[in-house]
């Protein structure tokens, strides 16, 4: 069996990233590619993974810079800035991101908190296990495009050491909470009865499919399909 080289894998991912927008590694030009193609390939892989992971829970439908709809100028431009997904309507908005990155990221974080706070599933700090209000909190922390609530500032360091471990606990709680009122009886992909089903999150929204094989096709058209689930809840 032939194994794809890192450069060929990167090339495929570059095409995928260009289809939805641009990342900083795609903007650097050919000099970096020629100087260290393996490093550039790894950067493209990493940034494509960040976009894929954070896109389902990205909170804004409008460009954070211009206020225009993200699709107003065609396909949105997806940029990873310091590990954070930023979606823009056009290349012209990238200049403002370079000028005021902290201000723009703060707007995204505020939107994440506003969108996810009403359905946050835990009453206790995911790090300490203490009640969220036990130290005067909760403290709202945004990791990528996900809200994490902690009991105090001291727990931020603990979370930062093992974020994926703590996010897995939040994910499990989201699934358990939403399962009780899940509105669909059939798979949104195949149309088959759910049966025991296969549960996963698209962003912070529970999705139930008839089998694990339906998760991949769901994610290809996730934004459209998850809207059906949200509508069915109302």
CA distances 204 to 54, 108, 230, Å, are 11, 16, 11
Q: Which residues pair with 147 in a beta bridge?
A: 142
Length of the chain: 234
- The residue assigned the tokens 């909470």 is 177
Q: What does the pLDDT read at residue 7? A: 40
Please report, in angstroms and rounded to a whole number, the separation of the first and last CA atoms in the chain: 50
What backbone torsions phi and psi does residue 122 show, to the nearest 5 degrees?
-110, 145
Q: Helices 6-20 and 37-54, interaxial angle, to 10°?
A: 40
Q: What does the pLDDT read at residue 42? A: 59
Domain positions in the chain: 6-115, 120-179, 181-234
Cα–Cα distance measured from residue 175 to residue 206, given in angstroms and rounded to the nearest whole number: 6
Task: Provide the residue-wise pLDDT of the chain in tens; the chain has 234 residues.
Answer: 444 443 443 444 433 443 344 444 444 444 444 566 656 655 565 889 999 999 999 999 999 999 999 999 999 999 999 999 999 999 999 999 999 999 999 999 999 999 999 999 999 999 999 999 999 879 999 999 999 999 999 999 999 999 999 999 999 999 999 998 999 999 999 999 998 889 999 999 999 999 999 999 999 999 899 988 988 887
Contacts of 55 (CB under 8 A, 6+ apart): 78, 85, 145
What's the burial of 112, exposed, middle or buried (CB within 10 Å: 0-12/13-18/19+)? buried
- For residue 141, the number of C-alpha atoms closer than 13 Å in the C-beta half-sphere is 23
CB 6 within 8 A of CB 41: yes
């Amino acid at each position: 069996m032939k194994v794809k080289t890192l450069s060929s894998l990167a090339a495929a991912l570059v095409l995928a990233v260009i289809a939805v927008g641009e990342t900083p590694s795609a903007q650097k030009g050919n000099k970096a590619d020629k100087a260290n193609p393996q490093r550039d390939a790894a950067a493209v892989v990493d940034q494509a993974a960040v976009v894929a992971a954070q896109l389902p829970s990205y909170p804004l439908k409008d460009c954070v810079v211009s206020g225009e709809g993200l699709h107003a100028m065609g396909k949105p431009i997806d940029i990873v800035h310091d590990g954070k997904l930023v979606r823009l309507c056009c290349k012209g908005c990238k200049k403002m991101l370079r000028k005021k990155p902290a201000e723009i990221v703060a707007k995204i974080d505020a939107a994440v908190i506003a969108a996810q706070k009403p359905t946050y599933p835990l009453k206790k700090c995911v790090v300490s296990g203490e009640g969220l209000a036990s130290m005067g909190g909760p403290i709202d922390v945004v990791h990528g495009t996900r809200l994490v609530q902690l009991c105090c500032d001291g727990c931020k360091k603990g979370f930062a050491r093992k974020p994926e471990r703590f996010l897995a606990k939040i994910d499990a709680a989201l699934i358990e909470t939403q399962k009780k009122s899940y509105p669909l009886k059939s798979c949104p992909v195949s149309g088959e009865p759910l049966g025991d089903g296969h549960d996963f999150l698209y962003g912070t929204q529970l999705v139930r499919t008839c089998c694990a094989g339906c998760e991949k096709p769901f994610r290809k058209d996730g934004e459209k399909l998850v809207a059906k689930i949200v509508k069915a809840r109302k």
